[in-house]
Amino acid sequence: MTTTAKTPKKESINEERLHTLLGGVLQDLGGAFSVPLVQIGEKLGIYRALHENGSASSSELASLTGLNERYLREWLSAQAASSYVSYDSSGEKFFMTTEQAFVFANPDSPFYLAPAFGTAAAFQQNMPQVKEAFQTGEGVAWGDQTECLSCAVARFFRPGYQNHLVQAWLPALEGVVEKLEQGGAIADIGCGHATSSMIMAQSFPKSKVHGFDFHEKSIQDAAKHAEEHGITNLELHHQEAKEIPGTYDLITLFDCLHDMGDPLGAMKKVRKALNPGGTVMIVEPMAGDSLSENLNPVGRMYYSASTMVCVPTSLAQETGKALGAQAGEKRLRELIIDEAGFKSFRRAAETPFNLILEARA
């Protein structure tokens, strides 16, 4: 018996939904096209110069910066169209609102997002390897990803750590600040370029901080940064989480647990490495416990980053658990309490971008 394939029924286009979709796609394309422009503006100090001057025409900004006026005119026009800077048509001058400067011109702002565009550029450079991994199912090791990725990621996370780590996150942990002020031992696992390690070492000079990372180049770069800042109570180690020596009063994992190939093995080692009464602080991307809860701008950003970096990194390691950047608090609780054997686990603090979790053995 022969059967005739049914022709799929064509649905009429809903004009309202189409225009909404097209509007969103155009916004995305504008943002994607802006990636190199924002990097140029940050690296050449254009945002800061414009903000510090108050307002300027392209010619005035060229005189201030020593940059070419024609390039600046086109760059400023693109930035104004993106609402990254503002334009006064009456005087034909450009300026930055307080909010625009907070995001693009102030490196000390907790919402300084200019470095995120550098991270997006690194993701794009990583695309050929990740595309191949889609076909093979294999991972892409952190050290094999685009060379600028580790630097871009470090710069992306720095504003959050600088503005929240000592001011809010550590005080949210029971008794930890007092212990570190008196002099404690800290292990910062997955420290990367050691931004978090250096912040803690400088804030608690009586404590000893040990930074651990499995990426040798990151540790080498971190050592140079520590030396430049004259930090003497920080030691950096090229070592995996499951191999850290010693015991500690505080163990931190900043935005790295979900990247690990064997997060369970790492957390079991962390539990054994805690001194009596010690604390673990796990900082992970903000996420709900289901996909539906994460269908928002923050989830969108993190799912994309996870596809390009986090999942490939984990799959390149032993066991390749690939928790993903949006694992969520419920899954992390199961990992830490039910599987790794910790006795307590709670959300100690949060930001729009971060979950700050406390665990005790």
Class of domain 26-104 as given by CATH: mainly alpha
**317 φψ region: left (φ > 0), alpha (ψ -120 to 50), beta (else):** beta
d(CA 188, CA 335): 19
- The whole-angstrom separation of Cα 296 and Cα 304 is 12
Q: What is the pLDDT of residue 86?
A: 98
Q: Which of 221, 282, 219 is closest to 250 using CA atoms? A: 282
Dihedral pair phi/psi, residue 342, rounded to 5°: -70, 155
274-285/354-360 β-pairing: antiparallel
Residue 209 C-alpha from the chain's centroid: 22
pLDDT at 147: 66
Does residue 146 have a pLDDT over 80? no
pTM for this one?
Answer: 0.89
Kindly list the distances between the CA atom of residue 293 and the CA atoms of 94, 105, 296, 342, in Å, as whole numbers in the listed order: 39, 32, 8, 27
As a whole number, the mean pLDDT across the chain is 94
pLDDT in tens, 87-116: 999 999 999 999 999 999 999 999 999 999
Q: Categorize the per-residue pLDDT at 9 as very low, low, confident or very high, splitting at 50, 70 and 90.
A: low
Under a CB-based contact definition with an 8 Å cutoff, are residues 336 and 267 in contact? yes
Task: Find all residues with CB under 8 Å of 137, minimum gap 6, and list them.
Answer: 315
Mean pLDDT for the stretch of residues 281-303: 96
At residue 144, the pLDDT reads 84
Which residue ranges make up each domain of the chain?
Answer: 26-104, 114-360
Give dist(CA 243, CA 130) in Å, integer.
28
CATH assignment, 114-360:
3.40.50.150
- Identify the CA nearest to 85 among candidates 70, 67, 73, 71: 73
- Mean per-residue pLDDT, 125-139: 94
**Maximum C-alpha span of the chain:** 84
* Residues 239-289 pLDDT 10s: 999 999 999 999 999 999 999 999 999 999 999 999 999 999 999 999 999
Nearest CA-CA partner of 162 in 351, 360, 359: 351
H helical segments located in 258-347: 263-272, 297-305, 311-315, 329-333
**Which residues contact residue 228 at a Cβ distance below 8 angstroms, ignoring those fewer than 6 apart?**
none
